Amino acid sequence: MLKIGVLASHEGTTLQCILDACASGLIQGQVVVVISNNGGAGALSRARAAGVPAHHLSSATHPTQDTLDAAISAALAANQVDVVFLAGYLKRVGPATLAAFRGRILNTHPALLPKFGGQGMFGDHVFEAVLASGESDSGVSVHLVDDDYDTGRVIRQVRVPVETKDCVESLKARVRKCERDVVVETLAAIATGELRLAGEG
């Protein structure tokens, strides 16, 4: 069984998809810990409702970046996490966590990287940039996390056509729906060994 650690900042809708897919057997694994930088995050409530250990770890709990990074890495290690998934986690992963889980930390991005990625490219900013560019396709990228924003190796991409009548909300709705499917498919492939991550990055 694949042991998944999830880092999330907000409501946890992607986390819920992962929890549901594990419960139904679509993913041969389980979420063993959820960490959020936001003490009021819906993700923490969803984790607790599912009986998953949930931790608020942030500058409010650990005033220096080094101690916070160490606490996150320790919580993941204590739960023997195989793969770390960033599900709407808006903080940079620290060097201790990156080193401990190098090649096993994944993130999704709501565009076709390397386009429309990098610092500041999150949330509606991405969809606004895609529409302003006139691109005919957007999509979802799943990539390994490294020391910078959205620069790690892309391991899976799915295209989502941009329609002529699209606004930010309509494009976002289609990309987010696709994103949830891609997350489940990617973790399912890792769990069965179809997609191998260890030692890569």
Question: What digits encode the pLDDT tens for the residues 29-66?
Answer: 999 999 999 999 999 999 999 999 999 999 999 999 99
pTM of the model: 0.93
Provide the pLDDT for residue 130.
97
More confident residue, 184 or 149: 184
- Average pLDDT over the chain reads 95
Task: Name residue 162's amino acid.
Answer: V
Provide the pLDDT for residue 200.
41
Percentage with pLDDT > 90 across the chain: 90
13-24 vs 168-192: helix axis angle to the nearest 10?
40
Q: How far is the CA of 151 from the CAs of 115, 118, 130, 145, in angstroms?
A: 11, 7, 18, 7
Tell me the CB-side half-sphere exposure of residue 6, using CA atoms within 13 A. Answer: 32
Provide the pLDDT for residue 147.
87
Which residues are known to be catalytic? 109
DSSP conformational letter for 163: P
Q: How far is the CA of 140 from the CAs of 51, 74, 81, 111, 153, in angstroms?
A: 30, 30, 25, 5, 14
Average pLDDT over residues 67-87: 97
